[in-house]
Amino acid sequence: MIQKTKGVQSIAFSESPYIMSSATVVGKKESEGPLGKYFDMTDSENLFGEETWEAAEGTMQKEACTLALGKAKLTPDKVRYLFGGDLLRQGIATSMGLESFQIPLFGLFGACSTSGEALALASMCVAAGYGEHMLAVTSSHFGTAEKEFRFPLSYANQRPLSAQWTVTGSGAFVVGNKKSHVRITGITVGKIVDYGLKDSQNMGACMAPAAADTIAVNLSDFERQSDEYSRIVTGDLGYVGQSILFDLMRKKGLDIMKNHMDCGMTIFDQQTQDTHAGGSGCGCAATTLAAYILPKIEKGEWKKVLFVPTGALMSTVSFNEGESVPGIAHGIVLEHC
Shortest distance, position 218 Cβ to a copy of itself, whole Å: 12
Beta bridge partners of 173: 22, 136
- CB distance 186 to 119 below 8 Å: no
**CA gyration radius, the chain:** 18
192 scored as a contact of a copy of itself (CB under 8 A): yes
Shortest distance, position 164 Cβ to a copy of itself, whole Å: 16
Please identify, among the stretches 239-247, 263-271, 291-299, 323-331, the one whose residues bind a copy of itself according to the rule CB under 8 A.
Answer: 323-331
* Nearest to 72, CA basis, from 202, 175, 181: 175
Binding-site member from 88, 175, 232, 334 for a copy of itself (CB under 8 A): 88
Shortest distance, position 175 Cβ to a copy of itself, whole Å: 15
308 scored as a contact of a copy of itself (CB under 8 A): no
315 scored as a contact of a copy of itself (CB under 8 A): yes
> Residue 336 burial (CB < 10 Å; 0-12/13-18/19+)?
middle
Q: Which is nearer to a copy of itself, 161 or 192 (CB)?
A: 192
Near a copy of itself in 133-172, by CB under 8 A: 147-148
Binding-site member from 32, 105, 181, 336 for a copy of itself (CB under 8 A): 105
Q: How far apart are CA 286 and CA 116, in angstroms?
A: 8
128 scored as a contact of a copy of itself (CB under 8 A): yes
Length of the chain: 337
Shortest distance, position 274 Cβ to a copy of itself, whole Å: 27
Q: How far apart are CA 187 and CA 121, in angstroms?
A: 9
Q: Which is nearer to a copy of itself, 47 or 92 (CB)?
A: 92
How many angstroms separate the Cα of 110 from the Cα of each of 77, 170, 190, 264, 332? 27, 15, 10, 17, 14
- CB distance 193 to 51 below 8 Å: no
Q: Which is nearer to a copy of itself, 125 or 305 (CB)?
A: 125
- CB distance 263 to 311 below 8 Å: no
Shortest distance, position 110 Cβ to a copy of itself, whole Å: 5
248 scored as a contact of a copy of itself (CB under 8 A): no
Please identify, among the stretches 20-28, 229-237, 259-267, 309-317, the one whose residues bind a copy of itself according to the rule CB under 8 A.
Answer: 309-317
Please identify, among the stretches 7-15, 25-33, 157-165, 292-300, the one whose residues bind a copy of itself according to the rule CB under 8 A.
Answer: 7-15
Q: Which is nearer to a copy of itself, 32 or 199 (CB)?
A: 199
Q: How far apart are CA 218 and CA 5, in angstroms?
A: 10
Query: Beta strand 169-176 with 2-4: parallel, antiparallel or unpaired?
Result: unpaired
Near a copy of itself in 208-237, by CB under 8 A: none
Q: How far apart are CA 203 and CA 73, in angstroms?
A: 38
Binding-site member from 49, 104, 152, 160 for a copy of itself (CB under 8 A): 104
Contacts of 284 (CB under 8 A, 6+ apart): 112, 140, 166, 167, 169, 235, 236, 263, 264, 267
Please identify, among the stretches 29-37, 50-58, 226-234, 284-292, the one whose residues bind a copy of itself according to the rule CB under 8 A.
Answer: 50-58
Contacts of 166 (CB under 8 A, 6+ apart): 87, 140, 141, 142, 145, 146, 279, 280, 281, 283, 284
- DSSP 8-state code for residue 112: B
Please identify, among the stretches 23-31, 40-48, 102-110, 177-185, the one whose residues bind a copy of itself according to the rule CB under 8 A.
Answer: 102-110
Binding interface with a copy of itself (CB under 8 A): 1-2, 8-9, 11, 52, 54-55, 77, 80-81, 85, 87-92, 95-96, 98-99, 102-111, 117, 120-121, 124-125, 127-131, 147-148, 189-194, 313-318, 321, 323, 326, 328
